Structure 1
């Protein structure tokens, strides 16, 4: 695996290191030793799979607060999506900044999303399927979210969403200057 630092502190793109021959290729999707050597979280408790039927389906921004704050490794295994992460750690030098990149079944890139980041994506093709590892169990009482079109974050999406859950449509705006950041100071 090849780890590429993103512009956001602690977040990485992971590229498969392929060993190819006439049959195709072999590559590791995950190696505990390699993650540990980079001082990254290496213990995962869930592997999740999502399918979005229509191009333009938006999911996010989602995150969990401590004690259930989670690390995610996200990969698109069919179709294509634009994956976006936002650093919401108040003490981080990249607080409030976002980063986005296309993940698709051809480039096989993975996004390492650290604790203290909100995560979302929009599908770029019909029948887009996503596979991701999660370091902490889903905890509804610790789950939070931010609207995808938050005016402070100013994430630039490649297309307008045509499909969203009611929950995601009603997520709050992020309020770094006047909102309650007590939950975020735990990151």
Structure 2
């Protein structure tokens, strides 16, 4: 397992060591002890989620607030997505900054997103299956988020605007300036 810093504090790219031969491949998707040794951060996860989406779907920017805040370890199991993390921690030196990374079934990269971050992704392939490991349980009343096309953040989702498909909830998230996170 190789862990690489991103420009955002406490947000990491995780690249597994892959063993391939004529039969296929094997890799350790996550190892809590190695993660904690390499980052000094807690890597204990309690909930796994899977979503499937078609091209143009944009999910985000979401977060859980307060005692229900969640760190996430995300990966793409099928297809291609552009994954986006936004530091929404008011006391962070990278507050208001975002980072994006293309996650694919082929590159097997994962992104660790700490508590206090907004998270979203756009589907760049015909369809995509996306995996989230969360370190806290989902709590509907603690949902929060930031509008996907907020002009202060100016995120490039790598999709033509006319191709973007949003849920009603995501269309109505508050702008970054509201600091409702």
TM value normalised by structure 2: 0.94
- For 1:42, the equivalent position in structure 2 comes to 43
- For 1:10, the equivalent position in structure 2 comes to 10
**Number of matched pairs:** 178
- For 1:173, the equivalent position in structure 2 comes to 175
Q: Distance in 2 between matches of 1:180 and 1:146?
A: 8
Where does structure 1 lack aligned partners over 5 or more consecutive residues?
none
Please tell me whether residue 141 in structure 1 is matched to residue 141 in structure 2: yes
Deviation for aligned residue 1:12: 0.5
- For 2:132, the equivalent position in structure 1 comes to 132
Matches within 5 A, 1:49-68: 49-52=50-53, 54-68=54-68
Q: Distance in 1 between matches of 2:179 and 2:70?
A: 20
Deviation for aligned residue 1:26: 1.9
Give RMSD over aligned pairs: 1.3
Moved over 2 A (4+): 19-25
Q: Distance in 2 between matches of 1:137 and 1:123?
A: 25
CA deviations on 1:124-151 (whole Å, 9 max, x unpaired) are 0122110110111111111101001111
Q: Distance in 2 between matches of 1:142 and 1:86?
A: 18
- The worse-fitting range, judged by mean Cα deviation, of 92-101 and 160-169 is 160-169
Deviation for aligned residue 1:21: 3.2
Q: Distance in 2 between matches of 1:168 and 1:180?
A: 16
TM value normalised by structure 1: 0.91
SS in 1 for 2:67: coil
- The worse-fitting range, judged by mean Cα deviation, of 124-133 and 157-166 is 157-166
- For 2:99, the equivalent position in structure 1 comes to 99
SS in 1 for 2:36: helix
SS in 2 for 1:168: helix
For the 8 Å contact 1:41–1:71, the answer to whether it is kept is: no
